[in-house]
Structure 1
Amino acid sequence: MELFNSILTWIMKKRISQIELFMMYPHDTQQEQFVNLINQARDTEWGQKYDYDSIHSIEDFQQRVPVSSYEDLYPYIERLMRGEQNLLWPSEITWFAKSSGTTNARSKFIPVSQEALEACHFKGGKDMMTIFVNNKPDTKVFMGKGLSIGGSYQTNERNPESFYGDVSAVIMKNLPIWAQFIRTPGLDIALMNEWEEKIERMAQVTMDENVTSILGVPTWTIVLIRRILELKGKKNILEVWPNLELFAHGAVAFDPYRDLFNKELVSSASMSYLELYNASEGFFGIQDRLGSNDMLLMLDYGVFYEFIPLEEIENPYPKALTLSQVELNKNYAMVISTNAGLWRYLIGDTVKFTTVNPYRIRITGRVKHFINAFGEEVIIENAEAAITKASEATDALIRNFTAAPVYMTETGKGGHEWAIEFEKEPEDLEKFTKILDDTLRSINSDYDAKRYQDMALQMPIVHSLPEGTFYNWMKKRGKLGGQHKVPRLSNNREYIEEVLEMVNEIA
């Protein structure tokens, strides 16, 4: 295994020069991606509809092709799922990444081409390890197994020759043999559909492996680690996996969970954490500096990027910017055109640029996930920063949370209501609530203005939920595992009322 580790680390170091090249020439790289996408799709039904043959510039593209939502593309995707081809992309589409993103009932089915698998998803996975090796040249990570926590897939009932599932399952099922050799557990367990049984089987199988890295969503990784510690009678996962050195995570922000990993689950200064921006629609970002709070935007994955300022998002014809036009520390809705046939697709995420030389981003939230019932414009980035600071100040550890507005009544004022499941409850919940509120006021001037002398918004209401509340809520909605995650913020009370109703039923 030592020779294998040496060979893989050597191969991955060679890729760094290519990454450095697109960091130096980002606009040229994006122009090349754009031209390739237009040329490849010119004979598709979509390409003919918008006359890709006569598109000679990004300006032509932006003027002719509209920004698209999932609903706009759905008629094409539905036909693809029935077996038609050459609609959005020229190569055959037989895989679809099923995505709901949150607990919404309606699922999205994102086409995944072979080009998207190889030049985007697989490349992103390899680059993740390449960047880690570049940061830790003496790593022994390939001397053990990488543990992947993913979802499941199934045959498409509308066309038995195609399949759909969580993007993690689509990727695992299509990985080359050499990649299967260095991961655990086997596909028979990793792709199981029944989530509770899968966690148990994963724990039983992997607890005796030499696991050196983990790839997964923080919430479900915590569930698995806790089960393994219970089975082994240990308190720290390094007592089970002494060579564990990397946790690569995505889907939700890591800051609210950082203390739980550092103080309870792993408790090691030598452990590395690497944030990823990998979604059903593609692989977009990798944290290239360990310890930073941003990710390098990956520019040579067959994806062309545009960015819509949030003040433009409700405009029926929003002005989208290219990389050369973006500004630092401003929120943008990200728009992508991809090598799977998503054209000027509004992915739903909002990002903020932290550097432009090279281009690095932070995910700040979702276009539809915010609280703005009173003009306070609280986004997920605000909520996570506030809850992290409150936790640190009160020695609390967070498992999960959601928040929603409390609407004004004739006799009362408005506010925000938070439902929080703690791993370790704060020493003083009242103090926790005050720090949460104070932090929101300090980082969001709109929220602060509405909180002035309690004129529009009152002090937040914070509920401490019983252990397992969010797990049971997700289970009740059939949304355990995979890409599903608890929505942090909602501008209506649907989620929080369901969660609190479950607590009342138990009580």
Structure 2
Amino acid sequence: MINFINNLFKVHLKKYEAELALHYELPEQLQVDTLANLLVTMEGTAFGQDHHLAGVRHGAGFAERVPVRNYDELQPYLRRMLRGEDNVLSPDRVRWLAQTAGTTSGQSKYVPVTRDNIQECHVKGSWMTLAMLHMQREDLKIFARKNLLIGGGVYDPHPDNGFPVADISAILVHSIPLVVRPFYIPDVKTATLPNYERKVRIIAEMAAREDSITMLGGVPTWNLALYRHILEITGASNLLEVWPNLQAYIHGGVSFGPYRETFRRLIPKPDFLYQEVYNASEGYFALQDGEERDDMLLLLTNGIYYEFIPFEQFRSGDRTAIPLSEVEEDVPYALVITTNAGLYRYLVGDLITFTTRSPYRIKIVGRTQEFINAFGEDLLSENVENALVKACRETGAVVKDYTIAPYYLSERERGRHQWFIEFLELPVEQSVFTRSLDLALQRENSNYAQKRSNDFAISELEVIALPPGFFQQWLRRKGKVGGQSKVPKLANHRHFADEILAEINTMIGES
């Protein structure tokens, strides 16, 4: 009976497999159709009327009438929506507010999530991800056993309007179709608890007693905390001793590179599948479409129309965006989206590059506000992540989280980069790790290598190891606890670095 149910779901996934096939055959046409459908739906909204969108069906006319906006610039419309006014940005009623706290800077942002957006973007993206997994491995038993998901939190309703507020992953958990909920643990209430430490403890006790888990899902950082609890409870040396039927892990939210070796030790199974997804509060954007790939297929039929601003141009203040058909490979772009939730030509804040144009595959290379260019090095997150992975591989270190800031030139010493790192596993010798990291970064970024040549402009980077749990406590003190709260990886200033140093000095003084 169980295998029969699993086979039924495989049949259901076939329609998503067919839709994915179109991404390889007619990608530009998919985007033309998506924009036309969005404009038909949105032209009668307050936003559509203000921008004279009636009859507009093509990208050029749309771009002429609607400027590219960030969250703050969309606020006049968002405030009306938050007051409960209907048909402002979308004709569909708002069901949730997705809390997108991002990094420690600034206040939490609330992105409207409508029923159409939930079903035709986020839930659909999840089905497409499962379809992609089945295309890679037909023997998957996702709907024959149990699947363990650790999602975000559901928080207090918004004080102005009573709309429910949650992390997007918690909204997805709430939106899991009733017919498939029996195949997922924990229950919805537990999976969406806002207190992460308590949630991890409860789920660990529950999951340690369940031996039929086949698929895992969630952000690597919180999942690692959960798995370590489970190993402590069971006394097992790896997760296969607890769950021998494990087959796949769906992950996103942070770069997986620094955690890959740790997961391989936790799940020592050569044919175990790792499936990366790019799912943000604003939309389900991309998924990994091959077991050996390190990029992701851009999803073009999820109610999202994409545009792209070359990053160099964006930094100069020019927001002229280009459509998908005009992008080039290996050029960093600021991502601009128009969605079925009512975000129009909206700056997500992410930087991506295209790795291929047939089909359109992308990598996330950073954030528009996260880079370091204090000495002309023009460092992006992708450079940092790649260097960190290499240094960890060479020294046996495992990094939990980090942030980087410039240390400026003075009369007495050259400038350098300061890396504040919280390790899961310390390197045997920190000096060896530091040297390895610096050399790897020079290989990743030629501008950095030039500035480092003979210590010409900047000295070797400095690594400051932080005590376990430091970043979690730091975020909590800033009121930033939850699945959407992240440590800023790169800052072209010292605000965060000086905060951290002050906190370290306080801890030393109290000890």
TM-score range, shorter chain: over 0.9
- Distance in 2 (CA, whole Å) between partners of 1:34 and 1:159 is 30
Query: 1:418 maps to what in 2?
Result: 419
Residue 20 of structure 1 deviates from its aligned partner by 0.5
Query: 1:477 maps to what in 2?
Result: 478
- Distance in 2 (CA, whole Å) between partners of 1:272 and 1:70 is 36
**Count of residues paired in the alignment:** 505
Q: Residues 365 and 184 of structure 1: is their aligned pair in 2 closer, same or farther, counting only changes over 3 Å?
A: same
Instruction: Show CA shifts across 1:122-154 (max 9, x none).
Output: 001111111001000111222222212112223
Query: 2:245 maps to what in 1?
Result: 243
Instruction: Show CA shifts across 1:140-186 (max 9, x none).
Output: 222222212112223222112x2111111122223321232221101
Amino acid at match of 2:241: E
Aligned 8 A contact 1:94 1:163 in 2? yes
- Distance in 2 (CA, whole Å) between partners of 1:205 and 1:37 is 43
Q: Does 1:24 align with 2:25?
A: yes
Query: 2:331 maps to what in 1?
Result: 330
Aligned 8 A contact 2:35 2:57 in 1? no
Amino acid at match of 1:275: E
Instruction: Show CA shifts across 1:429-451 (max 9, x none).
Output: 22221221112112212212222
Q: Within 5 A, what are the aligned runs for 1:3-402? A: 3-153=4-154, 154-160=156-162, 162-209=163-210, 210-263=212-265, 265-402=266-403
- Distance in 2 (CA, whole Å) between partners of 1:495 and 1:8 is 48
Query: 1:464 maps to what in 2?
Result: 465
Q: Equivalent residue of 1:351, what SS?
A: strand
- Distance in 2 (CA, whole Å) between partners of 1:389 and 1:421 is 17
Aligned 8 A contact 2:194 2:482 in 1? no
Residue 315 of structure 1 deviates from its aligned partner by 4.4
Q: Equivalent residue of 1:405, what SS?
A: strand
Is the deviation greater in 366-375 or in 301-310?
366-375
Aligned 8 A contact 1:469 1:502 in 2? no
Q: Within 5 A, what are the aligned runs for 1:431-446? A: 431-446=432-447
Residue 222 of structure 1 deviates from its aligned partner by 0.5
Residue 105 of structure 1 deviates from its aligned partner by 4.1
Identity of aligned residues (%): 39
Q: Equivalent residue of 2:297, what SS?
A: strand
Residue 475 of structure 1 deviates from its aligned partner by 2.9
Q: Equivalent residue of 2:343, what SS?
A: coil
Aligned 8 A contact 2:278 2:286 in 1? yes
- Distance in 2 (CA, whole Å) between partners of 1:227 and 1:471 is 17
Aligned 8 A contact 1:146 1:182 in 2? yes
Is the deviation greater in 464-473 or in 408-417?
464-473
- Distance in 2 (CA, whole Å) between partners of 1:503 and 1:229 is 31
Is the deviation greater in 138-147 or in 35-44?
138-147
Residue 426 of structure 1 deviates from its aligned partner by 1.7
Is the deviation greater in 251-260 or in 53-62?
53-62
Aligned 8 A contact 2:123 2:175 in 1? no
With normalisation by structure 2, the TM-score equals 0.96
Instruction: Show CA shifts across 1:46-105 (max 9, x none).
Output: 101110014242111112210010001112112211101111111111311010111224
Amino acid at match of 2:66: V
Residue 453 of structure 1 deviates from its aligned partner by 2.0
Amino acid at match of 1:213: M
- Distance in 2 (CA, whole Å) between partners of 1:82 and 1:29 is 35
Q: Equivalent residue of 1:124, what SS?
A: helix
- Distance in 1 (CA, whole Å) between partners of 2:65 and 2:6 is 49
Aligned 8 A contact 1:403 1:488 in 2? yes
Instruction: Show CA shifts across 1:205-224 (max 9, x none).
Output: 12222221111111000011
Aligned 8 A contact 2:405 2:491 in 1? yes
Aligned 8 A contact 1:150 1:481 in 2? no
- Runs of 4 or more consecutive aligned structure 1 residues displaced over 4 Å after TM superposition: none
Q: Considering only aligned residues, what root-mean-square deviation do their CA atoms show, in Å?
A: 1.5
Q: Equivalent residue of 2:269, what SS?
A: coil
Residue 117 of structure 1 deviates from its aligned partner by 0.4
With normalisation by structure 1, the TM-score equals 0.96
Q: Where in structure 2 are there 5+ consecutive unaligned residues?
A: none
Residue 316 of structure 1 deviates from its aligned partner by 4.2
Aligned 8 A contact 1:220 1:481 in 2? no
Q: Where in structure 1 are there 5+ consecutive unaligned residues?
A: none
Aligned 8 A contact 2:101 2:480 in 1? no
Aligned 8 A contact 1:470 1:499 in 2? no
Residue 382 of structure 1 deviates from its aligned partner by 0.4
Amino acid at match of 1:425: L
- Distance in 1 (CA, whole Å) between partners of 2:268 and 2:479 is 33
Instruction: Show CA shifts across 1:316-339 (max 9, x none).
Output: 442211111111111111100000
Aligned 8 A contact 1:217 1:251 in 2? yes
Instruction: Show CA shifts across 1:15-65 (max 9, x none).
Output: 212211132101110000000111111111110111001424211111221
Is the deviation greater in 465-474 or in 25-34?
465-474
Residue 421 of structure 1 deviates from its aligned partner by 1.8
Is the deviation greater in 426-435 or in 327-336?
426-435
- Distance in 2 (CA, whole Å) between partners of 1:242 and 1:50 is 57
Amino acid at match of 1:494: H
- Distance in 1 (CA, whole Å) between partners of 2:371 and 2:245 is 40
Residue 274 of structure 1 deviates from its aligned partner by 0.7
Q: Residues 110 and 447 of structure 1: is their aligned pair in 2 closer, same or farther, counting only changes over 3 Å?
A: same
- Distance in 2 (CA, whole Å) between partners of 1:166 and 1:344 is 22
- Distance in 2 (CA, whole Å) between partners of 1:415 and 1:316 is 28
Q: Equivalent residue of 1:38, what SS?
A: helix
